[in-house]
Structure 1
Amino acid sequence: MKRSIFLYLFVFMALIALYQYVSATHILNDRDEKIERLKSDTAQLQDSIQKLQIKVMDMQYFSLENNDDALAYYDHLKLKDPSRYIADKLLETNEQKGDNPLVPYEGMEGSFKINKIKLLNHKWIIADFSDGKYWGELLIKYELKDDLGVDFTLMDHLLYSKR
């Protein structure tokens, strides 16, 4: 009787050990597959990041902030951020009642105001304007004077149809 109990106990322990071995093997295989998937995903994400970095660099190519030659033009003025200063001066033209004086169109659904501004270099700005329903873009020439006054001159413009 004692012998059969030990035999059953041995068989039971062998089954438990076999179950643990098979279970651990499956867990290790699943973990290895997951690691390989994550490595593949990481490589794809790194490629995407590189593509996005190149795209951002291309988008920043025409930008006063990244143009050292254009920024050198303002060295004598001792401005911390010439881009922000000029953009603020351009946005001040929105404060007049009615349409912005640089927009050559009359607002149809309200007053045309400048919304977005991108300083291309030390001479040109591209700006977006809208009255809420109609919108367009402006190409503006500007000059920052030694007394920190800014003169804006409209070079070209376009108006899109309804949004």
Structure 2
Amino acid sequence: MKNKIFMYLFIFASLIVVFQYVNSKKILDASAKRMDSIKILNTKLKDSIAIQKEELSDLSLFDLRYNQEAQDYFYAKNIDTDSLIPFVKNELYKLNEAEGEHPLIPFAASEGRKMQFNTIKMLNHRWIIADFSDGQYWGELLIKYFMVGSDDVEFEVLDYMLYTR
């Protein structure tokens, strides 16, 4: 009788070990498969990031913050570009508050609306590109700017366009 109990315990223990082995093997195979797919995704994402970095470095060529020659122009005039950029942008945004038609945007707004600058990007020491909208129509301006002294700026619209619907 004791031998039968030991035999049943041995068979039961053997079945548990076989079950654990099969279950662990399935888990390890699934983990390996998931790890391979993660490695492939990681490689794709790294390639994507490399491409985006290259595109961003190309875009930084047209930004006053990264254009050393344009910064040197202001440095020679003792003008700090870190404070100049927000100053010029604020001067343009102040024009949004002008009564009547916008002084720089050459398009009339829709009924009951007003053309206003949305985003402004300073390209270098002479040019600004800005987009504008009245909520229904939108367009872009290429603006030439001049610093008059250290606290005054003049704007001249070089070209403009209004997107069609």
Verify same fold: TM over 0.5: yes
Contact kept, 8 Å, 1:77 with 1:146, in 2: the verdict is no
Shift of 1:160: 2.1
Report the Cα distance in structure 2 between the residues aligned to 1:15 and 1:61, rounded to whole angstroms: 69
Which residue pairs with 1:104 in the alignment?
A: 106
TM-score (norm 1): 0.91
Which residue pairs with 2:3 in the alignment?
A: 3
Report the Cα distance in structure 2 between the residues aligned to 1:97 and 1:62, rounded to whole angstroms: 32
* 1:64-103 equivalence runs, <5 A: 64-75=64-75, 76-103=78-105
Report the Cα distance in structure 2 between the residues aligned to 1:126 and 1:134, rounded to whole angstroms: 17
Report the Cα distance in structure 1 between the residues aligned to 2:123 and 2:33, rounded to whole angstroms: 49
Report the Cα distance in structure 2 between the residues aligned to 1:160 and 1:21, rounded to whole angstroms: 67
Contact kept, 8 Å, 1:98 with 1:112, in 2: the verdict is no
**Identity rate, percent:** 39
125, 130, 139: which is aligned to 2:128?
125
144, 147, 150: which is aligned to 1:144?
147
Q: Return 5+ residue gaps in structure 1 as ranges.
A: none
Aligned-residue Cα RMSD (Å) equals: 1.5
Q: SS of the counterpart of 1:151?
A: strand
Q: Return 5+ residue gaps in structure 2 as ranges.
A: none
The ranges of structure 1 where at least 4 consecutive aligned residues each deviate by more than 6 angstroms after the TM superposition are none
Shift of 1:79: 4.9
Q: SS of the counterpart of 1:24?
A: helix
* Number of matched pairs: 162
